[in-house]
Amino acid sequence: MNIRKWIGLAIMIGGTILGFLSQYLPWHKYHNIYSLGGYDYQVIVYLQTSLIAALLMPLTYLPLIGAFLGLFGCLLCLFPFGLRYGRLLGKISGIILLIGYISFPLFYYMIGLMFSIFGIQFVESFFPNMIGGWLSLISFIIVFIGSIVVPKSEIVEDVEKKGTQKVKAKSKKIKPEDVKMVKCISCGAMIKETDQFCPECGAFQ
């Protein structure tokens, strides 16, 4: 049993679960001081209800896409032939989760620049400060570590056992010095126990 494989797989599964959760949890909270009533109130931004969702839809699903790829990578890691591809998908999954995290503040910064051209003030900093954003970043780290821990290949135990059995069988072959010497039943000459004919008189033994 390859312990390293199962430890890496468990880490990757944990990271993909966090990636799934990050998609549906709040990403940012800020105070809105430009409300109509002139009072201050808190606004909680989810990934699907933010401006990203309205203007650039695919970005809102990056954590979910990354988590699905990570899960598929975990399934591949269950098979010896799929370890290499599972590791690769794990790394790709982590990178997508990281891009999902980075794209959130970057996109809002770009919107802020566009609004500033028309003299409209926008939210200055929109870095994720709630659990959804944190989980997206943490899941990237965990999935990436898990993909490194998973080994590149796996030695099948049956093949290993067969190899050791062959080595043992070869070592058990009879050596020349171990052969006993006996007398020929016809002429009495000393011959090897394994000889079928006497080399002296040619008699069958």
Tell me the CATH number at 128.
Answer: 1.20.140
Cite the DSSP H helix spans in the chain: 3-24, 51-55, 62-77, 83-117, 131-149, 157-171
Q: Which two tokens stand for residue 68?
A: 């699905």
Q: How far apart are CA 30 and CA 138, in angstroms?
A: 22
* 88, pLDDT greater than 80: yes
Q: How far apart are CA 204 and CA 37, in angstroms?
A: 120
| 195 and 106 co-located in one domain | no
| 197 and 117 co-located in one domain | no
| 21 and 60 co-located in one domain | yes
pTM for this structure? Answer: 0.65
Range of the domain at 143: 3-153
Q: Which two tokens stand for residue 17?
A: 């679960």
- The answer to whether 17 and 121 have CB atoms below 8 angstroms apart is no
| 197 and 105 co-located in one domain | no
| 129 and 201 co-located in one domain | no
The stretch 101-120 carries a mean pLDDT of 74
How many residues belong to the chain?
A: 205
**Does residue 171 belong to any structural domain of this protein?**
no
**Does residue 105 belong to any structural domain of this protein?**
yes
**Does residue 125 belong to any structural domain of this protein?**
yes
Which tens digit of pLDDT belongs to each residue from 138-188? 999 999 999 999 888 876 544 445 555 555 555 555 555 567 888 888 888
Which tens digit of pLDDT belongs to each residue from 43-71? 788 877 665 655 666 778 888 899 999 99
Say what the pLDDT of residue 66 is. 92
Q: How far apart are CA 36 and CA 20, in angstroms?
A: 36
| pLDDT band for position 135 (cuts 50, 70, 90) | very high
| 127 and 26 co-located in one domain | yes
**Does residue 164 belong to any structural domain of this protein?**
no
The label of the residue with tokens 């809105």 reads: 32
* 192, pLDDT greater than 80: yes
| 104 and 195 co-located in one domain | no
Residue 95 Cα to chain centre, angstroms: 13
**Does residue 166 belong to any structural domain of this protein?**
no
Domains held by the chain: number: 2
Q: How far apart are CA 79 and CA 166, in angstroms?
A: 26
| 183 and 135 co-located in one domain | no
**Does residue 170 belong to any structural domain of this protein?**
no
Q: Is 100 exposed, middle or buried (0-12, 13-18, 19+ CB in 10 A)?
A: buried
Say what the pLDDT of residue 188 is. 81
